[in-house]
Structures are given as structure tokens and as C-alpha cells.
């Protein structure tokens, strides 16, 4: 499978031209789980939003396979990076299948060689959502909704997935299950996953590379 690299070089980002962090250097490989830990307000979410192309950089660059994400159109960027944010977005009136199919908007599913419906089926199966496909997103548990949101991002066929505190609303069993399925997913599909978390046990058990964001600086803690 193709290998991809996400490279963050000398990045500074923030609001009202005031940097929350600066000099960020980070390299993320496909097929790995990379974690970012840090206290509340340390800028983890801003960094993830910058990686997803939603927060403009004050300095530096973020590139995938040597191509800067700021030069990409919204559609092209979505074929490189998918995201799941920490808010509990729960909309009624759509089924799990409809939610996952939203991810096919960018058209990248054509490179899978499957039909659109087959691709959606395959993505649902990857996250064990086949049985829930016709259920309303309002009827499923928090853990299942999180899986469905991840499946939606996977349906984009992106090389990297940004997850902002993916285990926040989950109980300890659902947390472990989610992280285990993410690890399996990364190995199986070679997608690179970058996630933020407060949960040091989860990070220690599942992350391949660990970073800490503190006082505006990012430090690499270990490589397993």
C-alpha cells in the first residue's frame, strides 16, 4: 500500500494574529497512530484544526507528500485529511448510512475501484456498522455515533485522519474498543491517525508516537 507523510514545519497558529503555539515540528506517517496530549487550553484543538486546513497559519507550513495544504482546494484537501471533532453533533432525520455516504462528496471513492454503494458498504463494515446502517443517528449510542462519524471521514478516502479527543464521551469499555478498532484500521488501511487526548492510559496503550503540547511548544515524548 502507498505510504504517505504529513509534515509540519515551523508552524505557528492562533487567533487575532496572536500565536497560541509556534515553532511546531512534527512528522506523521501513514499507518500509525500519533497522539497529542496537553492540558486544557494548550492549543491541541487549534493544532488539529490547522492540520485539517480550517485555521490559517501565522507562520510555517503543513504539507502532505511535499504538497502544502494551503495550496490545495477544499476538495483536494478532503482527499488527504478527514476529521472528527469533539462536539457531539447529533442530527435527527438522517440514517447512519446517509451520514457515512456524506463522506463520498469529494468523489475520491472512485479510486477504490468499487461502486459508490459498495464503497459505503465496505466503510460501514470496516467499523462494524453494517447492522446499524438504517438506524437514525439519533437512536444510536455515543460510541456508535463516534464510529459512524469516523466511518464518514473514512468514506472520504483520505490518507490522514484527525480526531479531536475521540474518547471524550465514551465509557471505559467503549474507549478501548474504539482505540483498538482505530489501531486495526491504521494497520489495515495504512491511514495515518492523529488524535488528541487527556487520557494517558489510552495514549500509552495505543499510540505509536506521542507528542505533548505545552506552553506553546510541541515536544516529542517517545516512539514505540
Using the Cα atoms of residue 222, residue 66, residue 1 and residue 103 in order, give the sign of their dihedral.
positive
Query: Near other proteins by CB under 8 A, which window of 100-108, 165-173, 201-209, 211-219?
Result: 100-108
Establish if 94 lies at the interface with other proteins (CB under 8 A): yes
- Residues in region 60-79 near other proteins by CB under 8 A: 73-75, 77-79
DSSP states of 145-158 as a string? HHHHHHHHHHTTT-
Establish if 110 lies at the interface with other proteins (CB under 8 A): no
Whichever of 43 and 82 has its CB closer to other proteins, that residue is: 82
Q: How far, in Å, CA of 28 to CA of 220, rounded?
A: 12
Q: Which of 3, 10, 27, 54 binds other proteins (CB under 8 A)?
A: 54
The tally of CA atoms less than 13 A away on the side-chain side of residue 37 is: 16
Neighbours of 130 (CB within 10 A): 14
Whichever of 115 and 223 has its CB closer to other proteins, that residue is: 115
Q: How far, in Å, CA of 108 to CA of 210, rounded?
A: 30
Residues making contact with other proteins (CB under 8 A): 49, 52-54, 73-75, 77-79, 81-83, 85, 87, 89-94, 98, 102-103, 105-107, 138, 153, 156, 162
Amino acid at each position: 500500500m502507498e505510504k504517505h507523510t504529513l509534515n509540519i514545519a515551523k508552524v505557528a497558529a492562533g487567533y487575532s494574529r496572536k500565536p497560541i503555539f509556534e515553532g511546531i515540528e512534527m512528522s506523521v506517517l501513514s499507518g500509525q497512530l500519533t497522539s497529542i496530549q496537553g492540558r486544557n487550553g494548550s492549543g491541541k484543538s487549534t493544532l488539529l484544526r490547522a492540520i485539517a486546513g480550517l485555521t490559517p497559519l501565522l507562520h510555517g507550513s503543513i504539507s502532505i507528500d511535499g504538497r502544502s495544504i494551503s495550496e490545495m482546494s477544499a476538495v483536494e484537501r478532503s482527499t488527504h485529511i478527514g476529521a472528527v471533532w469533539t462536539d457531539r453533533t447529533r442530527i435527527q432525520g438522517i440514517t447512519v448510512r446517509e451520514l457515512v455516504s456524506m463522506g463520498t462528496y469529494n468523489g475520491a471513492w472512485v479510486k477504490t475501484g468499487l461502486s459508490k454503494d459498495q464503497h459505503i458498504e465496505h466503510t460501514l463494515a470496516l467499523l462494524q456498522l453494517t447492522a446499524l446502517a438504517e438506524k437514525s443517528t439519533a437512536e444510536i449510542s455515543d460510541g456508535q455515533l463516534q464510529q459512524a462519524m469516523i466511518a464518514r471521514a473514512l468514506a472520504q478516502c483520505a490518507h490522514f485522519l484527525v480526531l479531536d479527543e475521540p474518547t471524550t464521551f465514551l465509557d471505559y469499555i467503549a474507549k478501548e474498543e474504539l482505540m483498538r478498532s482505530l489501531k486495526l484500521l491504521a494497520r489495515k488501511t495504512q491511514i495515518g491517525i492523529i488524535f488528541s487526548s487527556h487520557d494517558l492510559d489510552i495514549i500509552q496503550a495505543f499510540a505509536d508516537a506521542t507528542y505533548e503540547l505545552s506552553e506553546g511548544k510541541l515536544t516529542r515524548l517517545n516512539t514505540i
